[in-house]
């Protein structure tokens, strides 16, 4: 039997797309190879969001070339955002690549593999949702739901609108049917995915139009779905209905990832984020008004062109004021074809690095403080498997999306009460409450 190996870079949408690639390959009769050198088909699902992502991927691609030198019949495929951003150039730069495709063309991989074609081929027009392909889930109890693709925002730093195109939503009825199938299959947690999830539905025909908050309610109503998450929303589209959904719908988790990017209004304007510092803080207040204990996480970019020390202090100040439960922090990285790459006032690398360090210190200090509110509480944890640091313990997540390492007897996929004993900025630790478990049984 022919075998494949997929390496995934980038965001959750890419993880989702890779699960669909795997599902599609298995329906063609391929089997997953344990390691790259054993595979007949070596695939990369790439990311282009920052320069580092490009560099990491190219090192892996060189390894594939070495394998192909030893076994000439190996097929090398490159999909995803990096492939989309360079298109056919990929074959000039890397002549050993056999097939390349963008995020909207994953299904063409099947066409390529089942044709007799021996020449390299590239596919880059958006044609279909990967969500329509068969899936192969990493964990049987957790699933991704691709609600839309593409993005209509024009954030000055971001390459995604050019790699994933204009926003297209999938009809709500189709999504609900998919979630019903998932639930029947044992899925307990779904994560709704889109580049900008909360603008979902605006492109649908008027008579089929469903808002993001309405979609949350329809997914919440599916029997068996106990946790709903989504990523990523845009702060501009967080309205009262979404905040209320977190408060009123039992399965919607108490966590919002709300990308800040910068705390300085002039920088936010230059980034074309369409909100300023006060409006962002207003959205945080709105969420906390409805769900006081809601976990908030964010993304922050340091060193956007023109960012002064004063702008950066505004960012530190917002991060300190909000008190995020966690944050992804990035050095600004100029991307080809984006507006910001051409802006004057590019910030020197050393300045970016120094700012990042200061930012990380504030993020961690606040996250550590925030996490203390969980100590002494008994929280429901969805068990994911053994702890990464100590195989004798278990690892799972709370509804607030906090990772918990704990001792207990539960099996992956179970939701069990855990008594929280300690908290760091990143993780909680505790013990499964066997008394509560016995009482529930």
Q: Is residue 164 at the binding interface for ligand SF4, with CB under 6 A as the rule?
A: yes
- Torsions phi, psi for 305 (to 5 deg): -50, 130
Least distance to ligand 5AD from the beta carbon of 324, Å?
Answer: 13
216-245 burial, b if ≥16 CB within 10 A, otherwise e? Answer: bbebbebeebbbbbbbbbbbbbbeeebbbb
Least distance to ligand 5AD from the beta carbon of 398, Å?
Answer: 23
In terms of CB distance, is 142 or 195 closer to ligand 5AD? Answer: 195
DSSP-assigned states of every residue in 54-107: HHHHHHHHHHHHHHHHH-TT-EEEEEEHHHHHHTTHHHHH-TT--EEE-TT-TH
In terms of CB distance, is 261 or 387 closer to ligand 5AD? Answer: 261
Selected from 5, 50, 227, 234, the binder of ligand 5AD by CB under 6 A is 50
CA–CA dist 197, 248 (Å, integer): 19
Site for ligand 5AD in 181-240 (CB under 6 A): none
Q: Is residue 257 at the binding interface for ligand 5AD, with CB under 6 A as the rule?
A: no
Q: Is residue 48 at the binding interface for ligand 5AD, with CB under 6 A as the rule?
A: no
- Nearest to 38, CA basis, from 88, 2, 65, 84: 2
Interacting stretch for ligand SF4, rule CB under 6 A, among 10-18, 113-121, 185-193, 428-436?
10-18
- The pattern of x and - marking residues 67 through 96 that bind ligand SF4 according to CB under 6 A reads -------------xx---------------
413 binds, among ligand 5AD, ligand SF4, none (CB under 5 to 8 A by kind): none
In terms of CB distance, is 78 or 158 closer to ligand 5AD? Answer: 158
When CB distances to ligand 5AD are compared, the closest residue is 299
Q: At what angle do helices 212-220 and 172-184 cross, to 10 degrees?
A: 30
Selected from 77, 131, 259, 408, the binder of ligand 5AD by CB under 6 A is 259
Site for ligand 5AD in 284-343 (CB under 6 A): 299, 301, 330, 332-333, 335
Least distance to ligand SF4 from the beta carbon of 151, Å?
Answer: 8
- Nearest to 83, CA basis, from 74, 94, 75, 73: 94
When CB distances to ligand SF4 are compared, the closest residue is 10
DSSP-assigned states of every residue in 161-222: HHHH-S-EEPPHHHHHHHHHHHHHTT--EEEEE-TTGGGTTTTS-GGG---HHHHHHHHHTS
Q: Which residues make Cβ contacts (< 8 Å) with residue 247, sequence separation at least 6?
A: 290, 291
3-state secondary structure of 321: helix
CA–CA dist 23, 206 (Å, integer): 33
Least distance to ligand SF4 from the beta carbon of 189, Å?
Answer: 21
Token pair belonging to 423: 């908290």
Q: Is residue 8 at the binding interface for ligand SF4, with CB under 6 A as the rule?
A: no
Least distance to ligand 5AD from the beta carbon of 403, Å?
Answer: 20
Please give the distance of CA 135 from its chain centroid, rounded to a whole number: 17
Least distance to ligand SF4 from the beta carbon of 163, Å?
Answer: 6
> To 10 degrees, the CA torsion angle through 37, 51, 18, 71?
-20
Selected from 18, 48, 198, 261, the binder of ligand SF4 by CB under 6 A is 48
Selected from 4, 5, 14, 258, the binder of ligand SF4 by CB under 6 A is 14
- Nearest to 334, CA basis, from 347, 350, 321: 347
> What is residue 433's DSSP assignment?
-
Q: Is residue 47 at the binding interface for ligand SF4, with CB under 6 A as the rule?
A: yes
In terms of CB distance, is 332 or 406 closer to ligand SF4? Answer: 332
Site for ligand SF4 in 144-163 (CB under 6 A): 159-160, 163
Q: Indicate left, alpha or beta for 273 from its phi (over 0: left) and psi (-120 to 50: alpha).
A: alpha
Least distance to ligand 5AD from the beta carbon of 50, Å?
Answer: 5
381-406 burial, b if ≥16 CB within 10 A, otherwise e? Answer: bbbbeebeeeeebbbbbbbbbbbbbb
Least distance to ligand 5AD from the beta carbon of 389, Å?
Answer: 27
Q: Which residues make Cβ contacts (< 8 Å) with residue 160, sequence separation at least 6?
A: 49, 81, 151, 195
In terms of CB distance, is 188 or 255 closer to ligand 5AD? Answer: 255
Residue ranges in contact with ligand 5AD by CB under 6 A:
49-50, 157-158, 259, 261, 299, 301, 330, 332-333, 335
Residue ranges in contact with ligand SF4 by CB under 6 A:
10-11, 13-14, 47-49, 80-81, 159-160, 163-164
């Amino acid at each position: 039997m022919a075998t494949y190996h997929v390496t995934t870079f980038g965001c959750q949408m890419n993880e989702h797309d890779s699960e669909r690639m795997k599902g599609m390959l298995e329906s063609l009769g391929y089997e997953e190879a344990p390691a790259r050198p054993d595979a007949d088909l070596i695939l990369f699902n790439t990311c282009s969001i920052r320069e580092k992502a490009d560099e990491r991927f190219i090192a892996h691609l060189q390894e594939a070339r070495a394998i192909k030198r030893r076994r000439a019949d190996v097929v090398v495929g490159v999909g995803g955002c990096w492939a989309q951003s360079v298109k056919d150039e990929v074959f000039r730069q890397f002549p050993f690549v056999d097939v390349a495709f963008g995020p909207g063309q994953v299904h063409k991989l099947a066409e390529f593999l089942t044709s007799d074609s021996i020449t390299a081929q590239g596919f880059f027009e958006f044609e279909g949702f990967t969500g329509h392909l068969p899936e192969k889930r990493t964990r049987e109890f957790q699933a991704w739901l691709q609600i839309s693709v593409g993005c209509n925002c024009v954030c000055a730093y971001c390459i995604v609108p050019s790699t994933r195109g204009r926003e297209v939503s999938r009809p709500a009825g189709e999504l609900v049917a998919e979630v019903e199938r998932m639930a029947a299959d044992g899925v307990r947690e779904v994560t709704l995915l889109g580049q900008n999830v909360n603008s979902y539905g605006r492109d649908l025909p008027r008579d089929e139009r469903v808002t993001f908050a309405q979609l949350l309610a329809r997914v919440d109503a599916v029997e068996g779905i106990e946790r709903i998450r989504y990523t990523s929303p845009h702060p501009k589209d967080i309205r009262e209905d979404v905040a209320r959904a977190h408060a009123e719908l039992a399965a919607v988790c108490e966590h919002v990832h709300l990308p800040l990017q910068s705390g300085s209004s002039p920088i936010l304007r230059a980034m074309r984020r369409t909100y300023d510092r006060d409006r962002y803080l207003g959205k945080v207040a709105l969420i906390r008004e409805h769900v006081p204990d809601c976990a908030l996480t964010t993304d922050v970019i340091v060193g956007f062109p023109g960012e002064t020390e004063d702008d950066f202090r505004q960012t530190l100040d917002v991060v300190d004021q909000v008190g995020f439960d966690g944050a992804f922090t990035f050095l600004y990285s100029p991307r080809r074809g984006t507006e910001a790459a051409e802006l004057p006032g590019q910030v020197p690398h050393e300045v970016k690095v120094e700012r990042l360090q200061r930012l990380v210190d504030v993020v961690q200090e606040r996250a550590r403080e925030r996490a203390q509110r969980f100590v002494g509480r008994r929280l429901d944890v969805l068990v994911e498997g053994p702890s990464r640091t100590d195989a004798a313990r278990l690892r799972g997540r709370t509804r607030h999306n906090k990772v918990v390492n704990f001792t207990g007897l539960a099996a992956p996929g179970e939701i069990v009460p855990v008594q929280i004993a300690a908290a760091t900025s990143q993780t909680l630790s505790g013990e499964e409450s066997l008394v509560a478990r016995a009482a529930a049984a």
